[in-house]
Structure 1
């Protein structure tokens, strides 16, 4: 059931930079390792609705219903553009002090990160096509296998995102010491969020 092919494929999928990676890295740079772990937790939690939708067959409905797909897609687009705008405006986002930094509450970070992945309909379509490939044809309980595979995928997602966040935190000192780097990062991450939003806006359900 849990094959080497599944693990390798999952790892490649998780490693590919996307909205969750951008958010986790920006959080690690701005607020440190503890905050990046919360961001990783939120991004992982945001996968749950898509996995449930795949297991319940809701993704098939979304795949055939243009209205359902478009509604969720543009909600995600709007949220990504909001993050781009908020990041661009917040000139103090990366200008933090090691001793006096006041990171966002855990609940806010987790909620914001979870929304990023929840509002991405492409994930639902992805899991509809991805997970069933690794369920044994003669499985006594396909749903149980889907749950196990989903759990492994989520654990891998969390672990990889934590590593991304810790790597970002390792470079945090460079950011703290250079206002120019802070400004570049602010604009860069704002541009990334805007670009991801634009990419989602022009994407199709199939």
Structure 2
């Protein structure tokens, strides 16, 4: 495993995307424990894309316009739904940050679905991982699996860090209802922008 792979992975994971925005939103809304569930869900949501790239299924999305468009449409619809849901949510943030297990499972499931319904993720793994596998590698598949595991572990760690920062600022935000309103609008707008960006992806 090269230093180049680790550095590139850190840069890629740090870039704000759907998973980061969702984890930040959950961290502000529900607290640190809930943000861990969000980070875990987003990380697990990238597992199908990683496996698809390793076994070559991601190539189908690259060559089949219909397959890509179907998954893209579902992803766009879900992102717009998240934007609408966030914008319509006017409930007060709970200071206790208490969460039942079912609530955490729902948070993780939503995070996973956000990544599963993003066809660009499969194409990313297909283009990204093979660059760091040596042409002389005895078992390329095993090398790809190792890289995917490391990348997902880094994703989870960085997302937990993002969630922790959001949870840390939570008390400050909670005491200012106007700030909460604007933050929700910003998150809703961001989900909408991400959905529109995905919609024009070819």
Q: Does 1:73 align with 2:72?
A: yes
Q: Deviations over 1:75-94 (max 9, x none)?
A: 000000000011111111xx
Which residue is 1:26 aligned to? Answer: 25
Cα shift at 1:63: 0.2
Q: Deviations over 1:66-125 (max 9, x none)?
A: 000000001000000000011111111xx2232375567111011000000110000111
| Contact 2:34–2:99 (8 Å) recurs in 1 | no
Paired with 2:174 and 2:158, the residues of 1 have a C-alpha distance of 25
Q: Deviations over 1:123-168 (max 9, x none)?
A: 1111111100111111111111011101100000000000000000
SS of 1:185's partner is: helix
Paired with 1:122 and 1:75, the residues of 2 have a C-alpha distance of 13
Of 173, 188, 191, which residue of structure 1 is paired with 2:189? Answer: 191
Of 180, 194, 198, which residue of structure 2 is paired with 1:182? Answer: 180
Paired with 1:53 and 1:127, the residues of 2 have a C-alpha distance of 9
Unaligned runs of 5+ in 2: none
Unaligned runs of 5+ in 1: none
Of 108, 132, 135, which residue of structure 1 is paired with 2:133? Answer: 135
Of 94, 98, 115, which residue of structure 1 is paired with 2:95? Answer: 98
Equivalent residue pairs, number: 201
Which residue is 2:151 aligned to? Answer: 153
Paired with 1:177 and 1:102, the residues of 2 have a C-alpha distance of 20
Which residue is 1:64 aligned to? Answer: 63
Paired with 1:48 and 1:99, the residues of 2 have a C-alpha distance of 32
Paired with 1:100 and 1:144, the residues of 2 have a C-alpha distance of 41
CA RMSD of aligned residues (A): 1.2
Residues 179 and 101 from structure 1, CA distance in 2 versus in 1: closer, same or farther, beyond 3 angstroms? farther
Q: Does 1:6 align with 2:5?
A: yes
Paired with 1:133 and 1:100, the residues of 2 have a C-alpha distance of 42
Residues 57 and 15 from structure 1, CA distance in 2 versus in 1: closer, same or farther, beyond 3 angstroms? same
